[in-house]
């Protein structure tokens, strides 16, 4: 069988995307309410920062606007998992009902086919809010804005996104082995909230956990240091792109291993 290239998958993806958006637009009230809800959730997070810094001018050397930058950076970096990989939340139901078997008989990559079926368009509101927050903090801090810095920002935002995607892929894949895997997904999502804080405010034990076991520190803290504090960049920040690619590849392999086992056993 001829190997399918990137153009083939892009063509298929945009066809699936168009159909998914059309189906969502047929329920406009639901879309509008969901989008407004997400915007207010992000505003609540912004307000919590404002209330906190009314009493504390800085936290362990991190100013209000630096924390805002981290918050905006984390919102942008988690947008791809919200928009492109939201179908991970439905995986356990497809597996338990037996409906997942339908994905195993298509002549395309199983992971791609399953994930491309859903595009959570309301995540774009989160992206807009994150961009606005980061740009506002960027101007208040007085960071330079050159083509090189913009390129670095894009690269490290992609890096952070790969980490978050990998965390959710790995959590979702547990449904192939664990009956009540929803709690694994929910726990992984809750850890995301720690990404908007600098890792230095935590104890050494949690620093180790958030760096090497559940790598939420790579969702915002380590990648953003390249932009925020260019004169004092730790090694972990520089290697985060390689770490992000590796972690995403491992999560993909885990997901595919579970899916292949499922298709072989039919259970």
- Tokens describing residue 99: 């409906």
Beta bridge pairs of residue 149: none
Question: Does some domain include residue 246?
Answer: yes
Of the candidates 207, 208, 218, the one whose C-alpha atom is nearest the C-alpha of residue 240 is 218
Question: Running DSSP on this structure, what letter comes out for residue 210?
Answer: I
Positive/negative CA dihedral, 13, 18, 19, 24: positive
> Which pLDDT band, with edges at 50, 70 and 90, does 259 fall under?
very high
Domain count of the fold of the chain? 1
Question: Does some domain include residue 47?
Answer: yes
Kindly report the pTM of this predicted structure. 0.86
Of the candidates 100, 133, 131, 130, the one whose C-alpha atom is nearest the C-alpha of residue 117 is 100
**DSSP secondary structure letters along 103-139:** GGGSSS-HHHHHHTT---TTHHHHHHHHHHHHHHHHH
Least confident window among 44-58, 171-185, 209-223, 234-248: 44-58
Over the stretch 13-46, which tens digit does the pLDDT of each residue have?
888 887 777 776 666 676 677 777 777 777 777 7
Question: Does some domain include residue 172?
Answer: yes
Q: DSSP E strands: which ranges in the chain?
A: 58-59, 62-63
Question: Does some domain include residue 127?
Answer: yes
Q: Backbone dihedral region of 178: left (phi > 0), alpha (psi from -120 to 50 degrees) or beta?
A: beta
How far is the C-alpha of 122 from the C-alpha of 119, rounded, in Å? Answer: 9
- Tokens describing residue 136: 């506002």
Whether 251 has a pLDDT exceeding 90, the answer reads yes
Q: Are 173 and 255 in contact (CB under 8 A)?
A: yes
Over the stretch 96-122, which tens digit does the pLDDT of each residue have?
888 898 888 878 899 999 999 888 887
**Residue 161: domain span:** 6-265
Question: Does some domain include residue 1?
Answer: no
């Amino acid at each position: 069988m001829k190997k399918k290239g990137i153009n083939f998958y892009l063509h298929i993806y945009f066809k699936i995307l168009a159909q998914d958006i059309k189906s969502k637009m047929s329920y406009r009230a639901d879309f509008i309410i969901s989008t407004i809800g997400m915007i207010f959730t992000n505003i609540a997070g912004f307000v919590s920062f404002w209330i906190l810094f009314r009493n504390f001018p800085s936290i362990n050397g991190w100013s209000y606007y630096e924390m805002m930058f981290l918050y905006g950076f984390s919102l942008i970096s988690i947008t791809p998992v919200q928009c492109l990989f939201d179908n991970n939340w439905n995986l356990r139901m497809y597996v338990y009902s037996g409906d997942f078997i339908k994905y195993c008989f298509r002549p395309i990559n199983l992971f791609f086919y399953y994930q491309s079926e859903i595009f959570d368009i309301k995540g774009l509101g989160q992206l807009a809010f994150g961009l606005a927050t980061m740009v506002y903090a960027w101007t208040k801090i007085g960071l330079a804005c050159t083509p090189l810095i913009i390129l670095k920002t894009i690269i490290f935002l992609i890096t952070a996104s790969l980490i978050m995607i990998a965390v959710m892929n790995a959590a979702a894949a547990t449904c192939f082995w664990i009956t009540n895997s929803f709690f694994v997904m929910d726990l992984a999502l809750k850890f995301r909230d720690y990404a908007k804080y600098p890792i230095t405010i935590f104890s050494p034990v949690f620093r180790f956990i958030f760096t090497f076991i559940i790598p939420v520190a790579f969702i915002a803290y380590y990648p953003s240091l390249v932009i925020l504090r260019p004169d004092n960049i730790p090694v972990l920040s520089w290697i985060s792109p390689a770490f992000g690619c590796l972690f995403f590849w491992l999560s993909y392999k885990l997901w595919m291993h579970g899916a292949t086992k499922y298709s072989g056993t039919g259970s």
